[in-house]
Amino acid sequence: MALPLLVASDHAGFELKERMKKALERLGVPYEDLGPTGAEPVDYPDYARKVAEAVASGQAERGLLVCGSGQGMAMTANRYRGVRAAVAADEETARLSRQHNDANVLTLGARLIDPDRAERVLQAWLDTPFEGGRHARRVGKIEPPAEVM
């Protein structure tokens, strides 16, 4: 990954985001934290948007988003052309999201995943390459026509 991984959360995901940053440091993965800087209440779409816009524009290759369930962040991020955000709560889902779907944003649900497992999920997602081949054709069909967006 040439560009830093972008990370962001909402208030519910703040503590887990901080833990994932430490895991990224241990793994030697460069990252940039787009906020928030504390656990005060914030609106998750504001932070998902920051990461999704950067991934969609090519300013970042991948992102990590953390909220209470992972769902709100994924729903927001997936509104952006070229973003394929996947919610993963186990290593196999994380691997498959990369292998078959070329997921470029991982979302985690802080209220639903044990922090140790979240670290393993993140590592599996980071370590897994996209297989391409038949999957590339399918991933290409994910993008909606311009008039839909």
Given 60, 65, 67, 122, which residue is catalytic?
67
Phi first, then psi: give them for residue 55, nearest 5 degrees: -70, -45
- For residue 36, indicate whether it is catalytic: no
Give the integer Cα–Cα distance in Å for 40 and 86.
Answer: 25
Catalytic residue among 79, 95, 100, 135: 100
- Separation between Cα atoms, residue 21 and residue 46, nearest integer Å: 20
Active site residue 108: no
The rounded distance, in Å, linking the Cα atoms of 105 and 84 is 6
Task: Please report where in the chains the tokens 């209220």 appear, as a residue.
Answer: 111
Contacts made by residues 90-93, CB under 8 angstroms, sequence distance 24+: 90/117, 90/121, 91/120, 91/121, 91/124, 92/124, 93/121
Would you please indicate which residues are annotated as catalytic (active-site) residues? 67, 100
